[in-house]
Structure 1
Amino acid sequence: MALAVPTPGIFLANSGVTPTFKDILPYSTYVKWYENVHIPDWMSAKPGAITAAWRYQCLDTSRAMPFLVTYKYPDISATSAHEFRDVTLSDPLLPDGGPVTKFIQIVIMSGPHVETWRSGSTGDERGALLVTEAIDPTNMTTDQFNDWYHQSYINEISQIDGWRRTSRFDNGPWGGGQPRWLALHEFEEKSFDAKTTKIPGLLGTSKETKRVEESAQKLDMAIWKLVRVYGDKTAPWGTESWEDQIL
C-alpha cells in the first residue's frame, strides 16, 4: 500500500476582543495571553505538527479583529488531530479564568498550500509587511481563476516596489462561510507609505483584475505588520523553498 504524501498547508486565525468585553479584557491582556500562553500551547499540542507561526498586528486600528497568527503545518491533515481540540482556552490572565471564547470573535481559515512566487532576491524569512487577501470570485471556474492569477495578477503584484513573496492557499469549497481562496502577499516596509493602514482592493489595475474585484462575492483585504515569529522562521509554505516560482 502506498503511503499518503504529506500536504503542507496553513492554519490562520484572525481574532479580536468583542466590543462588549473590551473593558474586562483589555486588548493588551489578550495579546499577552495569546502570545505567551496560547501560541506556545497550540504549537506544542502535537509535536511535529507545526513548523512555525508568525504573529501579525493589523495597521488599521479600526479593524474589529486586529490580531493575526498564521501556522505552517507540514501536513495539513494534522489540523484535525484531537490534540488541538484538547488545548485549554482558560487561563488566570483571562476574566474569571476564561474560556477565551466567551470574550472574542475569531475567523479561521485552513487549507493546503497551492503555490508560491517570490522575487529572485528574496530570502527565506517573511517580509515585514503582509497583505492578506481572501476572495470568492463570481462567475469564474477554478481554472479561470488560476489562469487570471498566473497570466495577469501575479505579474501586477510583482511589479510593486518591495514585493517579496505571494503564497496561495485553498480554504476549500465549503470554507465555513469564509472565502475559498486565501493569498498572503509579503512586502518590505518601503512598499507602502507609513500612513497606509488599509488596502481597499486587489493589488492590480488591469481591466481583468478590476472585473474580478468588482464582481467578487466576498473580498477581505488587510495590511499587517510582522510582530513575532515562533519556531523555524525560514520555514517555506510549500515543501522546500527552492520549489517557489521566481519572478
Structure 2
Amino acid sequence: MSAEMKGPGILWVTSRIAASAKDILDEETFMKWYDDDHIAEIVETEGIKDAFRYINVERGSPSVPKPFLAFYPMPDLAFTQGSDFKKIRVKSDILPGSGIVYDLADIDVGYYGLVGKTEATAKKEPAQYIVVSAIEPASDASDDEVNKFFDEQIAAVSKASNYLRTIRFKLCYARTNAQSRALKGLPTTDEPAPEPPTWQAVHEFSVEPAAEVRGNIKGDSNPVLEKAKQNELNVYKLAKTHGGKKFFE
C-alpha cells in the first residue's frame, strides 16, 4: 500500500468485459451482476452504505478502455482492510462460465482519500453527469501546487451552467485483476499493480456539461498540468444509484 488507509474516502472501480469473455458475457448480464448481486451485497456491509454506477459517455472510443464506473464512498477507508470487506463475494450464479468475475472482466480498483469538497450550488441530488479530471503531477510538484491548480480549475468549471459542486481525492492504492485475485485467495499472476493518476477532481453536473467545459480543462495552460506525467479527462453519465445515495453530503 502506498498510503495509509484511514479516514473518509472512496473505492473507485472501472471495468470492461474481457475480450476473452465477450462470447459468453453480455453487458446486460454484467450490469445485472453489478446491481442485483455485487453492489447489493456491498451496501449491506457496515462500512459502505452508498454506491453509484456510471457509464463513460465516450464508451466505444479507443481512448476509453474501461467504460463502466462504480464508486463507493465510505466514512473510513480502514474498512477495506478488514475481514468483512475481504469476504465480499466475487463469484455469482448470475455470471457465466466459472462465475468468477475476474475470469470475465478486466477491473481496476483505486482507493482514494477525500481531500475536500465545495458546497453544492443547488439542492443536492445524485449528479446526472460527472467530469473527472485526473493528473499525475511531475515529481517535483508539491501538494500545495497541485491543490492550487485544482482550486483554479474548480473556479473556472463552477462558472458553467448546471454545475453542482466538486469533490477532490488523492490516491492511496490501486489494484488490477492480479492483486484482486490475491486479495480473494484466487490463483493469480505477477502482473504489476496499475499506476493511475494520483489526484482527481470529480466535478458534478445536473445535466450533460457543454463541450466547452471539457475544452477549457484540456486547454488549461497551468504549469502543473503542462508538466504532468499523466492527464486524463472523462465524462460519465449516471446509470444507477444504490443504498442511501449519499456522496459526502
TM range (shorter): 0.7 to 0.9
1:61-72 matched pairs, under 5 angstroms? 61-62=59-60, 63-72=64-73
**Which residue of the partner structure matches residue 192 of structure 1?**
210
1:105-129 Cα deviation digits (max 9, x unpaired): 1111112211111443x22222211
Question: Is it true that 1:53 corresponds to 2:51 in the alignment?
Answer: yes
Does the CA contact (< 8 Å) of 1:18 and 1:104 recur in 2? yes
The residue matched to 1:20 in structure 2 has which SS?
A: helix
The residue matched to 2:224 in structure 1 has which SS?
A: helix
Question: Is it true that 1:227 corresponds to 2:239 in the alignment?
Answer: yes
Shift in CA distance, 216/33, structure 1 to aligned 2, threshold 3 Å: same
Question: Is it true that 1:180 corresponds to 2:198 in the alignment?
Answer: yes
Shift in CA distance, 67/204, structure 1 to aligned 2, threshold 3 Å: closer
Q: Offset at 1:61?
A: 2.1
RMSD: 2.2
TM-score (normalizing by structure 1): 0.81
1:125-183 Cα deviation digits (max 9, x unpaired): 22211112221011411111112222x221111112211111011113x6552221122
**Which residue of the partner structure matches residue 82 of structure 1?**
83
Shift in CA distance, 140/33, structure 1 to aligned 2, threshold 3 Å: same
Q: Offset at 1:200?
A: 6.4
**Which residue of the partner structure matches residue 19 of structure 2?**
19
Structure 2 unmatched runs, 5+? 1-5, 175-192
Distance in 2 (CA, whole Å) between partners of 1:137 and 1:52 is 30
Distance in 2 (CA, whole Å) between partners of 1:78 and 1:202 is 37
**Which residue of the partner structure matches residue 29 of structure 1?**
29
Structure 1 unmatched runs, 5+? 1-5, 242-247
| Ranges of 4+ aligned residues in structure 1 off by more than 6 Å | 199-202
Paired AA for residue 51 in structure 1: K
Does the CA contact (< 8 Å) of 2:14 and 2:109 recur in 1? yes
The residue matched to 2:54 in structure 1 has which SS?
A: strand
Paired AA for residue 197 in structure 2: P
Q: Offset at 1:89?
A: 1.2
Q: Offset at 1:43?
A: 2.1
The residue matched to 1:35 in structure 2 has which SS?
A: helix
Distance in 2 (CA, whole Å) between partners of 1:31 and 1:212 is 37
Q: Offset at 1:34?
A: 1.0
Paired AA for residue 198 in structure 2: R
Paired AA for residue 244 in structure 2: D
Q: Offset at 1:236?
A: 4.1
The residue matched to 1:168 in structure 2 has which SS?
A: strand
Does the CA contact (< 8 Å) of 2:50 and 2:247 recur in 1? no
Does the CA contact (< 8 Å) of 2:128 and 2:208 recur in 1? no
Paired AA for residue 165 in structure 1: R
**Which residue of the partner structure matches residue 133 of structure 1?**
133
Does the CA contact (< 8 Å) of 1:153 and 1:204 recur in 2? no
TM-score (normalizing by structure 2): 0.80
Paired AA for residue 48 in structure 2: I
Q: Percent identity, aligned pairs only?
A: 27
Distance in 2 (CA, whole Å) between partners of 1:20 and 1:97 is 13
1:105-116 matched pairs, under 5 angstroms? 105-116=106-117
Does the CA contact (< 8 Å) of 1:129 and 1:223 recur in 2? yes
The residue matched to 2:118 in structure 1 has which SS?
A: strand
**Which residue of the partner structure matches residue 245 of structure 1?**
none
Q: Offset at 1:97?
A: 3.9
Does the CA contact (< 8 Å) of 2:56 and 2:236 recur in 1? yes
